[in-house]
Amino acid sequence: MGMVHHAAPTNSVQEQTSKCSVGATYEGRDPALLDRILPHVDYIEVTLETIAEVRDDKLRLSDEVMSELKDIGKAAQIIVHGVSLSIGSHDGWQPTYLNLLDDFLQQIDVAWHSEHLGYTKVDAQHLGIMLAMPKTEQALDMVCERVGRIQDRYKLPFLLENIVHVVPDFPGKYSDAGFLNALTDRTGCGLIVDAYNLECDAHNHGFDISEFLAELNPRNVREVHVACGVEHNGFLLDVHSQLTRNSTVELAQHIVNQAAGNAQVVVYEFMPEAVPGLGHDAIAGELARLRAAFGH
Amino acid sequence: MDLATHQRKLLGLIRSTYQVCPNDDAYIHAVAQSQDLIEARRNIFLWRIYVLERTCPLTLRLLKGRGLLEEAVSAFIAEHNISPFRETQGPAFLDMLSSHTDQLIASVAQFELALMKVRQGDSSSYTISWDVEPHNILYSLAKDIPITDEVPKGVYHILVSSELPSLFQIVCLE
Of B36, B54, B121, the CB nearest to A166: B36
Distance from the A251 Cα atom to the nearest Cα atom in chain B, whole angstroms: 24
Q: What is the pLDDT of residue A18?
A: 78
DSSP code at position B167: S
A127-172 pLDDT per residue, tens? 999 999 999 999 999 999 999 999 999 999 999 999 999 999 998 9
3-state secondary structure chain A: CCCCCCCCCCCCCCCCCCCCEEEEECCCCCHHHHHHHHHHCCEEEECHHHHEEEECCEEEECHHHHHHHHHHHHHCEEEEECCCCCCCCCCCCCHHHHHHHHHHHHHCCEEEEEEECEEEEECCEEEEEEEECCCCHHHHHHHHHHHHHHHHHHCCCEEEECCCCCCCCCCCCCCHHHHHHHHHHHHCCEEEEEHHHHHHHHHHHCCCHHHHHHHCCHHHEEEEEECCCCEECCEECCCCCCCCCHHHHHHHHHHHHHHCCCCCEEEECCCHHHHHHHCHHHHHHHHHHHHHHHCC
User: What is the average pLDDT across A193-201?
Assistant: 97
Of A29-33, A72-76, B43-47, the poorest mean pLDDT is in B43-47
Restricting to A residues 212-271, those with a Cβ less than 8 Å away from any Cβ of B are 232-233, 235, 237-239, 241, 271
Q: Is residue A122 within 8 angstroms of chain B, CB to CB?
A: yes
Structural domain spans, chain B: 34-172
On the question of pLDDT at A1 being above 80, the answer is no
Q: What is the pLDDT of residue A11?
A: 47
Pairs of residues, one from chain A and one from chain B, whose beta carbons lie less than 8 Å apart: 121
Cα A254 to Cα B50: distance, rounded to the nearest angstrom: 32
On the question of pLDDT at A22 being above 80, the answer is yes
Domain A21-294 coded CATH 3.50.50.60: no
Task: Tell me how far the alpha carbon of residue B52 is from its chain's centroid.
Answer: 7
Structural domain spans, chain A: 21-294
Chain B residues with beta carbon closer than 8 angstroms to that of A84: 83-85
Q: Is residue B135 within 8 angstroms of chain A, CB to CB?
A: no
Q: Give A13's pLDDT tier (boundaries 50, 70, 90).
A: very low
DSSP code at position B150: -
Of B30, B40, B50, the CB nearest to A166: B40
Q: What is the pLDDT of residue A55?
A: 79
Q: Do A235 and B4 touch (CB under 8 A)?
A: no
Q: Which residue has the higher pLDDT, A295 or B144?
A: B144
- What is the distance between the terminal CA atoms of chain A, rounded to a whole angstrom? 38
User: What is the average pLDDT across A221-239?
Assistant: 91
B20-53 pLDDT per residue, tens? 999 999 999 999 999 999 999 988 998 899 899 9
Q: Which helix (H) or strand (E) holds B54?
A: helix B35-55
> Which of A128, A240, A143, A132 minimizes the C-alpha distance to A187?
A143
B170 three-class SS: strand
Q: Give B74's pLDDT tier (boundaries 50, 70, 90).
A: very high
Cα A79 to Cα A21: distance, rounded to the nearest angstrom: 13
Distance from the A167 Cα atom to the nearest Cα atom in chain B, whole angstroms: 5
Per the CB < 8 A criterion, the answer to whether A216 and A185 are in contact is no
Tell me what ipTM this predicted complex has: 0.91
Of B11, B35, B46, the CB nearest to A127: B11
Mean pLDDT of chain A: 93
Cα A206 to Cα A200: distance, rounded to the nearest angstrom: 9
Q: Is residue B87 within 8 angstroms of chain A, CB to CB?
A: yes
Q: What is the pLDDT of residue A15?
A: 60
On the question of pLDDT at A75 being above 70, the answer is yes
